[in-house]
Chain A
Amino acid sequence: MNILIPTPLRPFAGGQNVLQVEAGTVGEAIHALTGAHPELRRHLFTPEGKLRAFVNLYLNEDDIRYLPDKENTRVSAADSLSIIPSIAGGSDRRGGRGFGAMQINP
């Protein structure tokens, strides 16, 4: 199956944006990936071995956290696994939508 590597992790995956692994489950695919590219491990997992909270693993369109069998989900050669770090943030501006917090551009 294909594993799509996000831009920030490519330096730790031989510079490639997609890697092919032979695997029967999602867990085996990740194991094969980190076996071939050990540097990826600390970017994907905490020192305790848990998937980092901001790392999302998608089997095709599905978040593996919400699949009934999670990492034991069966995969076929036609599936693709995407590694996607989360994107979020915000201005932290306090107050509501009124004019109180407005910034005037000089």
Chain B
Amino acid sequence: MSILRLPRFVYDEIRAHGEETYPHECCGALLGHPAPEGWRIVASVRADNTRTDSAHNRYQIAPVELVHIQRTARRQGAEIAGFYHSHPDHPPQWSPTDFAEAHWLGSSYVITEVAQGKAGRTNSFLLAGTTEEDKHFEDEAIVMDDESIGAPSA
């Protein structure tokens, strides 16, 4: 199982973002560096959820915002390592829509459950595979600083 390492302030920030946008889904990007066991995150970048038509159960980041995030990452000498979003009043497991819309192979997709406005569990899934045809999500362990939060919980 791969490991997503992230600083506590990033972990707190992406969970706070989900509480702020509740009952809508929040979304954003994670910047970091590759390591043999998985991504080492250094920062998160908030993005707007453009799915205002159905923001309680859908999210989308405008491509032009991703262009800006990609430039920011490059300036900082980091890479887009993954993305995060929230599931308002829904478990932190990837959904069929999450899977169908996931195209960043090798990236981490982090999902936080926000129950009645409070951040609950946060899970990470690695989009593994080499093509659209063989892509699949793998459970990933989240490790914060030196402390293990553990594998995704159902």
Contact = CB atoms under 8 A, between A and B. Distances in A.
Interface of A: 4, 6-8, 11, 17-18, 42-43, 52, 54-56, 58, 61, 63, 82, 84-94, 96-97, 101-105
A103 B93 CA distance: 13
B56 to A, nearest CB: 6
B90 A88 contact: no
Contact count band on B: 35 or more
Nearest to A8: B105
B112 to A, nearest CB: 11
24 contacts: A4-B67, A7-B81, A43-B131, A54-B103, A56-B63, A58-B64, A63-B63, A84-B70, A85-B103, A86-B60, A87-B27, A87-B66, A88-B58, A89-B97, A90-B54, A90-B85, A90-B98, A91-B95, A93-B88, A93-B90, A97-B56, A102-B89, A103-B90, A103-B115
A30 B116 CA distance: 47
A105 B106 CA distance: 30
B17 to A, nearest CB: 15
B115 A102 contact: yes
Contacts of A84: 63, 66-67, 70
Contact of B57 (A7, A58, A91): A91
A8 B113 contact: no
B23 interface: yes
Nearest to A96: B56
A89 B58 contact: yes
B128 to A, nearest CB: 11
Interface of B: 23, 25, 27, 29, 51, 54, 56-61, 63-64, 66-67, 70-71, 74, 79-81, 83, 85, 87-91, 94-98, 101-107, 109, 113, 115-116, 120-121, 131-132
A90 B87 CA distance: 7
A91 B25 contact: yes
Contact of A92 (B60, B79, B97): B97
Given A93-B90, A102-B115, A87 B61 contact: yes
B101 A86 contact: yes
B107 to A, nearest CB: 6
B121 A93 contact: no
A67 to B, nearest CB: 13
